[in-house]
Structure 1
């Protein structure tokens, strides 16, 4: 054993010196990928990018830059290793191409296969960094622009992985854009100021306008005509020509979600309605107009993005969407407007109230009748919020924050379930007092584990979580990739606490979806009277060691070969049975089904003998605080009831509990609390019976 420890230590030391964060592309390989007429220049000395040229007459014209994401944004995937993408970006910030160079994402390795991954990254071609690129699952949104937004089709069962890929693409591309394309250096989009919710000073609407808290813009016909003067749109508006000094649009704009503005501008009822429609961190922009021209076209649909007014910050677009709210101004207002609209900017957009909001009013003219030419000119203006209305950024809200917000109800339901389980296990005496009620509680919770945590929320913890953690540490990379899957984070937090209190059994017996599936199948087999094989005690003990050997082999492989690790972790059928719902190539399905069939004869066969994740939890569970299963002095000497009833064979003949192999099914606790099942209690009841002594009848 000592020799194995020495080898393991040496492998760890060697692993820590390894690096897997360097690009793999060479000049020759890029020439193959971008053949003539393209010309690959020399790698930039300041930033790891290659320029791409194309010969134009006698000069070489810059087509774009090509680079590897691992050199610029090595964001770890769920294996703990970064996904490496080859990205080509043109001088205007448009994606020429995005392709996968290497990855170790478990769900795409012999799971869904790599085809969905390749299809996902291919959607970036032709998109721009000036667009808000978002991921949706509704295919009718795919690659269709909505204002400044464009939606990519995600991959079912790989939601977190594609979000990590999206973050990788955008992070790497923005670094290149800022260094090579003249984009603003900008700031971390998650480090933004927050509006002060409790800051309010009464003010009239006239005072708000005078202080710049309401932006006032007046555009006259003359100015519009001047804009189109040198274009094909000149002279196409007879009203503008006839009345050059008349108002084209009279516009008032306010960041109405700021209490110091909104409470003064709106009446009390409208302010309440607005607050009820906004989530924490959202912003609302009120736009009031009168005149010949409005910010909404005749084809505008309520609840969508305004087609004539756009918002940018630091040269990047930000979506604002109609809230479809009828709001009324304060009673002291003398503004008479034709239109009042309010638009919402969600918190995930990263709008920073400490930076100017740059707006652009688009005016379009049509030339021609059958196939009219559309000529558009923009009228830019800005709004800036005074410093007293916001608080500077103090904390870092990472890019995964939007995922947590979007899945808030799933997280809430999971936390509620875990809280209920913690309370039940804490008061186990009450929980097990009524054996029949306990059985239904356990069945209900295991159904929650299988159906919600497993198949719906994809919260199956796995040995892959451990290998990913180790590989990230070996490479010196961030562990932020875990945060892209909030269900895993919440479950790990609970399991970490439960390991210290109760040991391995809380997860394996209550929170493992595949374990729940095995238990249901095993109980069904018993109900159908399928013969159950109870393995001899010594043989059972030897077989239980196998999972520790499997665990050791997988952990060793993380320091030797990532490819080997990817192969060895397939000993777990979790990906096949839970993540992919058995929709996978036949060898994996046969293996998973075979394990489930084995559990019809040997109770929870995989969990007891093969599961490396369970083995890891068993090792960590040795440091638990409680021996929580109650015992009597008669347990084991002479009573053997619980030992014979334990399907996991986790009770020794002397009555001692082997907590490393206990799945916290609590059947023995139910027996302990039952005076109809517990032999010592039954004997006590018999001893407690008093047989009255009656005098013998006297015969006369």
Structure 2
């Protein structure tokens, strides 16, 4: 512990030299990411958002809003520090650009490298922030997942990519609601027409306003151009415009307007999108003579909640509508499901009226007329948006892994608790332990990626100092499940349950140590005095990591690399050579000094050893003869966790259960063997010589 105190003192003297973290990008930094012909406008005076402008037809139009995610969604990653992304959001809510500015994700730093993370974030370009975007497994989109709602995950970085996904969406939606007029209820909202259809005719639909008739008189059209000198520039018969407007997805409306067969065909073609009918009987037509089917109508638009929605002509086959509808031009506007359109809420059809003045260089003047449309909410079934955090996706996606791990933990508890059961039978228990260690390494470690790490404790230190929180744990369900189990067993048995049974790297060492005998490698006995000093080293390493984390020093990430877990378990030794040599070197050291890393260097083991002192039980059975005269358990203990007096040093015990097996085995426990011999000597028949 004196070594730990020395580490603390050294780090406290270095506080003055701790570098400060960089702030947000300034104008020059933003311009480097959005060079000409794009133009960076003036930063918003209320939000840290930069408008990015693009010149179109001699004028500047808004191309995107650029911002840093850390200003809106500072969600800590596995390094305990929130990643910072540069996001450019288009006026329609589409991601124009997405880049990683900074991150501290351990799996990418000196592991996979940052390139896979950069490529992961680039997948968001072109996707809409209006849709719930999920992180699938690697190559999920190639396997059939919807490309509009799914991004491919990264092997060995599932939890980190979910943190990035939540950061991306949370920051984007915060800006969209503030700058683009997104309604809070529109994002992720699912609204479907009720399947029950009331049979109504067109006349009744029009009476109820479900088939809305809108008439614009010539006088009203002229008033729209008041002050432009074009008030009487388009005289004609009354009315100027006579429209029928209807939302066709509702069965009652669609079947009355189109007929049963045509309505069914329309619904199949829409596949979840929305269709709005606009039919005209007046002079003004929503469809000009040169209109191209399937394009976005210049004369019509759809708005909801102050946000313009993309509405495109459906290019549907032009067949006659219901006989009572006007025979004039009409269009079906298709609104994509991704637009977040809520047909049960009020929305507006925008009519764009255009008149020209001048003959040599004609100038077009445009005015808009809005037509409000609303259907009764009881025609729809509304499914509230998933406003919960996106970490819940990970729990659903990894439910099978959680079930397997939970079952394995449930199996382990009775095996360890019932000491006169399987533990007392040396050969069957040895096979069970070998199989369980293989499961820990293969499934918990390499497959489920649930290797616990001191990085989590560093995150706790940051949270305690107000520099972060532990929300990142929610993105790694298997690890969180293990943490809960480990903390519970610490109070009962101490450190050994995790270190001896559930640590994948510990399992790798123990399995590798079985090669020592066939390779004829003799174990090195560390002198007792040196052994005591080396055991304290891990506490110093732990102190260094926690202090630097609490102070926000960048050295935390480097110090945490004392753990080879990321190299050996997370990245399967697929890493740069120095890290591979370090991890492999510890495995080789283990052949000579059994679990030398665990005993002398592991900071996580040190933390568990400290917390394990709160255990409620001294649960390892001892006999009066243990230590004097019997020394068998001490000699057999490869961890050196039993002293010469036979007492168990629980902070150094790895719960291999060898000593428990010996105590309960009459064929191994020396006091029991001697007692049996004495009993046999007293009960055997006397010989003739003895009688004489």
Please give the TM-score of this superposition, normalised by the length of structure 1.
0.72
Does residue 497 of structure 1 match 2:488? Answer: yes
CA deviation vs aligned residue, 1:317-355 (integer Å, no higher than 9, x gap): xxxxxxxxxxxxxxxxxxxxxxxxxxxxxxxxxxxxxxx
Q: After the TM superposition, which residues 149-548 of structure 1 pair with which residues of structure 2 at under 5 Å, given as runs?
A: 149-186=148-185, 214-216=196-198, 251=251, 291-295=260-264, 307-310=270-273, 364-365=315-316, 377-378=333-334, 382=344, 397-548=388-539
Q: Distance in 2 between matches of 1:94 and 1:396?
A: 20
Structure 1: runs of 5+ lacking an equivalent: 194-208, 228-243, 254-288, 301-305, 313-357, 368-374
- Cα 1:152–1:553 change in 2 (3 A) is same
Q: Which residue of 2 aligns with 1:573?
A: 564
Count of residue pairs the alignment pairs up: 564
Contact in 2 for aligned 1:21/1:71 (Cα 8 Å)? no
Q: Distance in 1 between matches of 2:586 and 2:388?
A: 43
Between 419-428 and 30-39, the greater mean CA deviation after superposition: 30-39
- Name the Cα RMSD after superposition: 4.2
- Candidates 610, 621, 634, aligned match of 1:643: 634
- Cα 1:697–1:118 change in 2 (3 A) is closer
- Cα 1:594–1:165 change in 2 (3 A) is same
Q: Which residue of 1 aligns with 2:51?
A: 51
Does residue 24 of structure 1 match 2:24? Answer: yes
Q: Distance in 2 between matches of 1:384 and 1:449?
A: 57
Q: Distance in 1 between matches of 2:520 and 2:10?
A: 52
Q: Distance in 2 between matches of 1:567 and 1:698?
A: 80
Per-residue deviation, 1:674: 1.0
Contact in 1 for aligned 2:156/2:570 (Cα 8 Å)? yes
- Cα 1:384–1:567 change in 2 (3 A) is farther
Per-residue deviation, 1:252: 6.6
- Cα 1:20–1:459 change in 2 (3 A) is farther
Q: Distance in 1 between matches of 2:441 and 2:690?
A: 69
Structure 2: runs of 5+ lacking an equivalent: 214-243, 276-308, 319-330, 336-341, 345-374
- Candidates 624, 640, 645, aligned match of 1:654: 645
- Candidates 684, 688, 693, aligned match of 2:686: 693
- Cα 1:392–1:41 change in 2 (3 A) is closer
CA deviation vs aligned residue, 1:480-519 (integer Å, no higher than 9, x gap): 2110110011000000011111110000000000000100
- Cα 1:78–1:696 change in 2 (3 A) is closer
- Cα 1:130–1:216 change in 2 (3 A) is farther
Max radius of gyration: which structure? 2
- Cα 1:599–1:3 change in 2 (3 A) is closer
Q: Which residue of 2 aligns with 1:343?
A: none
CA deviation vs aligned residue, 1:297-323 (integer Å, no higher than 9, x gap): 79x7xxxxx7443379xxxxxxxxxxx
Per-residue deviation, 1:6: 11
Per-residue deviation, 1:5: 6.2
CA deviation vs aligned residue, 1:458-481 (integer Å, no higher than 9, x gap): 000011111122223334544221
Say which SS state the counterpart of residue 591 (structure 1) adopts: helix
Q: Distance in 2 between matches of 1:537 and 1:35?
A: 66
Contact in 2 for aligned 1:296/1:308 (Cα 8 Å)? no
Say which SS state the counterpart of residue 62 (structure 2) adopts: strand
Per-residue deviation, 1:601: 1.5
Per-residue deviation, 1:38: 2.5
Q: Distance in 2 between matches of 1:366 and 1:652?
A: 89
Does residue 682 of structure 1 match 2:681? Answer: no
Per-residue deviation, 1:691: 3.1
